[in-house]
């Protein structure tokens, strides 16, 4: 990262990444085609790729650079947020794309990789800077790690002349033991400072805006605690099914796929204490404290505080859709959950006694990710007429229709003191217009800059698994027992409604 260029002083882009070679392992896979190459291309369109930056795709199938470029062109044409392809930019971008075929298990391929990278250093001035992206299953991490290290392709973290960084995709393990084992595997070769665990939720503008809302305004922080907040709700709802990813989902389920990472990330951002500074370690220190403060859910308490369920046949948008067990590559006797509901508590000074209801699932009524903060009732029913006054709610919508809404009561015009809830809405789209960069663009750029603020740290991942694993273990032990179903296209099983109504509350209507 360069900061001492006098021409940068005062410009919007005060920090720029050093040119580096970006190596994508699993370059012909779905993630690379759908997300990584479109993101890199859009960085080029936005003139944010530094000169000399090169991209090497590494995968097992034999193909030439030219064929690889053509494949990626088709992927970018299909999945890029900017369309159509800008020919001038594409030609320049394509000239930076290279391909290397080989099995990850063969150390000789990594010697070839090293030669290729050294060649690029000589012609493009990348000076040994490397950014590796593991778009491969975790089971392949160890061999790639070993071979990168064996081929001398990993610079020490304190090397000031060149940088080596690695971006890792979730899943970061499947439970506490495997998550810790994966961390240990990565740490065998890379220092934590060099590891960037990507959770694309953190790259979303709206998630970053939660930090702005909480710590950029003076009016929210004083009421952001148990004295004023009655409870919070977090919903991560998808209206689609497993969409051909049955094999993956059979090993994951909603808890591992959504709750352990995206949903807990939202929880951390909404509940963390103000960091001393907006720097990577300060922010992540505060986030991990939230996870450590989560009240453990153990034993029979799991049955009361959690709900798991699976979608059954139903309908979506007026058309019949299959149940989970009827999906391709899913066992007809599968016990994998496609819905999770939980009642979580944070045992700390700020939020002690404030329940946080969370739900995540597939084939729900609509696609919607939202956090809502429900404030307490007014202390005295001065204006109550035939029932308590509706409490205020601050709703932060992550997707779609990103924005923030504040619900409060107002007097209905007329002779009587009749109150009615009204909302004040802030919508990103109508206020700022246009669309910002995709989460992957922001996160890849941050990784190139070496800024890990929006990436998960190993202790975060471990603490998340520590909270989740006992629940997964109990569910695994109970088999199909207590596995309710819900018709596709609904908001989940009745048990999820009970989870909240038992406390005299209700899910927010979304």
**Residue numbers at the binding site for another protein (CB under 8 A):** 2, 4-13, 16, 18-19, 45, 47, 50-52, 86, 88-89, 91-92, 95, 122-125, 424-427, 430-434
* Cis bond before residue 384 (omega within 30° of 0): no
Minimum Å gap between C-beta 448 and another protein is: 12
Minimum Å gap between C-beta 496 and another protein is: 30
3-state class (DSSP) for residue 29: coil
The residue among 230 and 402 lying less far from another protein, judged by its C-beta, is 402
Q: What is the DSSP letter of 258?
A: I
First-to-final CA distance of the chain: 43
DSSP 455-488: SB-HHHHHHHHHHHHHHHHHHHHHTTTT--EEET
Q: Which residues contact 314 (CB under 8 A, 6 or more apart)?
A: 320, 321, 323, 363, 486, 487, 488, 489, 490
Q: Which two tokens stand for residue 195?
A: 């590891």
Minimum Å gap between C-beta 47 and another protein is: 5
Q: How far apart are CA 459 and CA 159, in angstroms?
A: 24
Minimum Å gap between C-beta 12 and another protein is: 7
DSSP 301-358: HHHHHEEEEEEESEEETTEEE--GGGSTT--TT----SEEEEEEEB-STTTTT-EEEE
Minimum Å gap between C-beta 126 and another protein is: 10
Q: What is the DSSP letter of 257?
A: I
The residue among 45 and 166 lying less far from another protein, judged by its C-beta, is 45
Q: How far apart are CA 30 and CA 282, in angstroms?
A: 34
371 in Cβ contact with 395 (< 8 Å): yes
Q: How far apart are CA 297 and CA 22, in angstroms?
A: 42
The residue among 109 and 126 lying less far from another protein, judged by its C-beta, is 126
**Alpha-carbon distance values, 23 to 36, 109, 132, 195, 437 (Å):** 11, 13, 5, 14, 22
CA atoms within 13 A on the CB side of 454: 23
171 in Cβ contact with 138 (< 8 Å): yes
DSSP 193-255: GGEEEE-GGGGSHHHHHHHHHHHS-TTTGGGSSTTTEEEEEEEEE-SS--TT-HHHHHHHHHI
The residue among 87 and 300 lying less far from another protein, judged by its C-beta, is 87
Residue with tokens 């997964």: 472
483 in Cβ contact with 337 (< 8 Å): yes
Q: Which two tokens stand for residue 25?
A: 């392992």
The residue among 51 and 386 lying less far from another protein, judged by its C-beta, is 51
3-state class (DSSP) for residue 69: helix
The residue among 121 and 175 lying less far from another protein, judged by its C-beta, is 121
Q: Which residue among 200, 231, 262, 374 is the active-site one?
A: 262
The residue among 345 and 425 lying less far from another protein, judged by its C-beta, is 425
Minimum Å gap between C-beta 327 and another protein is: 39
Minimum Å gap between C-beta 395 and another protein is: 14
The residue among 296 and 421 lying less far from another protein, judged by its C-beta, is 421
The residue among 4 and 62 lying less far from another protein, judged by its C-beta, is 4
User: Does the active-site annotation cover 262?
Assistant: yes
Residue in 13, 98, 95 with CA at minimum distance from that of residue 445: 13
Report the catalytic residues.
262
């Amino acid at each position: 990262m360069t900061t001492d260029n006098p021409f940068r002083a005062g410009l919007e882009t005060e920090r720029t990444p050093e040119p580096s070679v970006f190596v994508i392992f699993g370059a012909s896979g779905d993630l690379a085609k759908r997300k990584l190459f479109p993101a890199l291309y859009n960085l080029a369109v936005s003139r944010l790729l530094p000169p000399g930056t090169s991209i090497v795709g590494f995968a097992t199938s034999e193909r030439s650079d030219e064929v690889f470029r053509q494949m990626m062109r088709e992927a970018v044409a299909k999945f890029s947020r900017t369309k159509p392809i800008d020919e001038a930019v594409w030609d320049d971008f394509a000239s930076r794309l290279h391909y290397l075929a080989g099995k990850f298990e063969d150390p000789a391929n990594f010697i070839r990789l090293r030669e290729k990278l050294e060649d690029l250093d000589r012609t493009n001035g990348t000076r040994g800077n490397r950014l590796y992206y593991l778009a491969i299953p975790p089971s392949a991490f160890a061999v790639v790690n070993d071979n990168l290290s064996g081929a001398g392709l990993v610079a020490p973290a304190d090397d000031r002349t060149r940088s080596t960084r690695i971006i890792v995709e979730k899943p970061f393990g499947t439970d506490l033991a495997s998550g810790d084992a994966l961390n240990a595997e990565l740490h065998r070769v890379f220092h934590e400072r060099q590891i960037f665990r990507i959770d694309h939720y953190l790259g979303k503008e709206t998630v970053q805006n939660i930090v702005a809302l909480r710590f950029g305004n003076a009016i929210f922080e004083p009421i952001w605690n148990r004295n004023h907040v009655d409870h919070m709700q977090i919903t991560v709802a998808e209206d689609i099914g497993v969409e051909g990813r049955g094999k993956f989902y059979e090993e994951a389920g909603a808890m591992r796929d959504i709750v352990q990472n995206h949903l807990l990330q939202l929880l951390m951002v909404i509940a963390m204490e103000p960091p001393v500074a907006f720097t990577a370690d300060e922010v992540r220190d505060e986030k991990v404290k939230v996870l450590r403060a989560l009240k453990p859910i153990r034993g029979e308490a799991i049955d009361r505080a959690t709900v798991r369920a699976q979608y059954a046949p139903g309908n979506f948008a007026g058309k019949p859709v299959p149940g989970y067990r009827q999906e391709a590559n899913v066992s007809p006797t599968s016990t994998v959950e496609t819905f999770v509901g939980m009642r979580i508590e944070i045992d700390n000074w700020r939020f002690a006694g404030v329940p946080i209801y969370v739900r995540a699932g597939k084939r729900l009524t609509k696609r919607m990710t939202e956090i809502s903060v429900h404030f307490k009732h007014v202390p005295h029913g001065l204006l109550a007429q035939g029932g308590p006054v509706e409490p205020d709610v601050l709703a932060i919508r992550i997707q779609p229709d990103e924005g923030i809404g504040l619900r409060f009561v107002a007097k209905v015009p007329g002779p009587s003191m009749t109150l009615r809830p009204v909302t004040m809405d802030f919508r990103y789209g109508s206020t700022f217009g246009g669309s910002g960069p995709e989460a992957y663009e922001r996160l890849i750029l941050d990784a190139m800059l070496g800024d890990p603020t929006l990436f998960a740290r190993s202790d975060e991942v471990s603490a998340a698994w520590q909270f989740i694993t006992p629940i997964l273990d109990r569910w695994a032990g109970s088999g199909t027992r207590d596995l309710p179903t819900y018709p596709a296209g609904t908001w989940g099983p009745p048990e999820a409604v009970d989870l909240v109504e038992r406390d005299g509350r209700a899910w927010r209507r979304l």
